[in-house]
Amino acid sequence: MTTASGRPSEPFDGEALDAYSRTVTAVASAITPKVASLHVPGERGDGSGSAVVFTSDGFLLTNAHVVGGARRGTAAFADGTTAPFAVTGSDPLSDLAVVRAEGATPGPVRLGDSDELVVGQLVVAVGNPLGLAGSVTAGVVSGLGRSLPARSGHAARIIEDVIQTDAALNPGNSGGALADSRGVVVGINTAVAGVGLGLAIPVNSTTRRIIDSLVSFGRVRRAFLGLVTTPAPLPEDLAARTGQRTGLRVVDVVRQSPAARAGLHPGDLVLTAGGRPVRDAQGLQRLMFAEAIGKPLQITVTRNGALVDVITEPTELLDTSA
């Protein structure tokens, strides 16, 4: 077969298309029953979104912006059953929230590890928007390591390692599942980044700690240093000596913060914190939980070609809900 230009056309690969369709269909079939539509009453009008069952005793994972300031609502599942839910905990600085259904729920999804994703990998976004059970779109991971600003009251934070995908997100899909080709949930859909682009909060070691804290305590206690940073490559000689290719360049230091009191300055390149290499912002943020509050934390930086060790003492990050 030839095209209009006379060149041979590419043969239609029906088998590959069938394999793709079978994969997406299988993931949708496994995940859709476990994704609920949330109806959330609010003072400024009712809200809605999706949520994912992740435990066998009725806990669902969704976005903090889906539940807002509500404490209760109703979850509806694809099989037509409904159940009231109570908000267990919400963390606007990660845009994650946990709710618990007061009744029977479908079995849980499997939570995976988004750190294993690669660009180009097939992903399937499953939501339950506005009660329209089984909104399914498929695409690929189009970007990794994206950042998403989050704010709660006067506190601000960057959500790191956000997953960018071209699996289109429909209104009401926020809080739904982003699954890989095995049907393992690797992210929680959170926002539309543009035409044909969606963002998802990653499921990884850091977010698992946030989820565990929301289930156990209803909130997340965080430590605060007062650093604004960006990833930066290490000088070649230092990279060869340490085996570390990147660190965190200090862009700004909050006045009177623990970092400022410790003597950290804009321009410093952070290499380690607590004796662990810091290669990206998540490497520092994963240390900033409750157990770090009020405890000495050694940070090693390179400054003007010299290695400098400082001792900081993180304080508690307050005013996250004002």
Q: Which residues pair with 91 in a beta bridge?
A: 96
Measured on CA atoms in the order 130, 133, 137, 141, is the torsion positive or negative?
positive
Measured on CA atoms in the order 311, 93, 120, 3, is the torsion positive or negative?
negative
Among 91, 95, 166, 180, which one carries the catalytic annotation? 95
| Residue 79 falls in the annotated catalytic set | no
Is there a contact between 285 and 206 (Cβ–Cβ < 8 Å)?
A: yes
Q: Is 322 helix (H, G, I), strand (E, B) or coil?
A: coil
| Residue 174 falls in the annotated catalytic set | yes
| Residue 95 falls in the annotated catalytic set | yes
Among 174, 180, 213, 268, which one carries the catalytic annotation? 174
Residue 104: Cβ within 10 Å count: 9
φ and ψ of 170, to 5 deg? -90, 160
Distance of CA 86 to the CA centre of its chain: 22
User: Which H or E run contains 29?
Assistant: helix 14-31
Q: Is 255 helix (H, G, I), strand (E, B) or coil?
A: coil
In which residue are the tokens 């804009």 written? 266
Cα(259)–Cα(241) distance, rounded to whole angstroms? Answer: 26
Distance of CA 182 to the CA centre of its chain: 19
Measured on CA atoms in the order 168, 169, 171, 176, is the torsion positive or negative?
positive
Cα(100)–Cα(58) distance, rounded to whole angstroms? Answer: 5
Contacts of 195 (CB under 8 A, 6+ apart): none
292 DSSP 8-state letter? G
Among 37, 39, 50, 65, which one carries the catalytic annotation? 65
User: Which H or E run contains 98?
Assistant: strand 96-101
Nearest to 220 by CA among 155, 273, 282, 173: 155
Q: What positions carry a catalytic annotation? A: 65, 95, 174
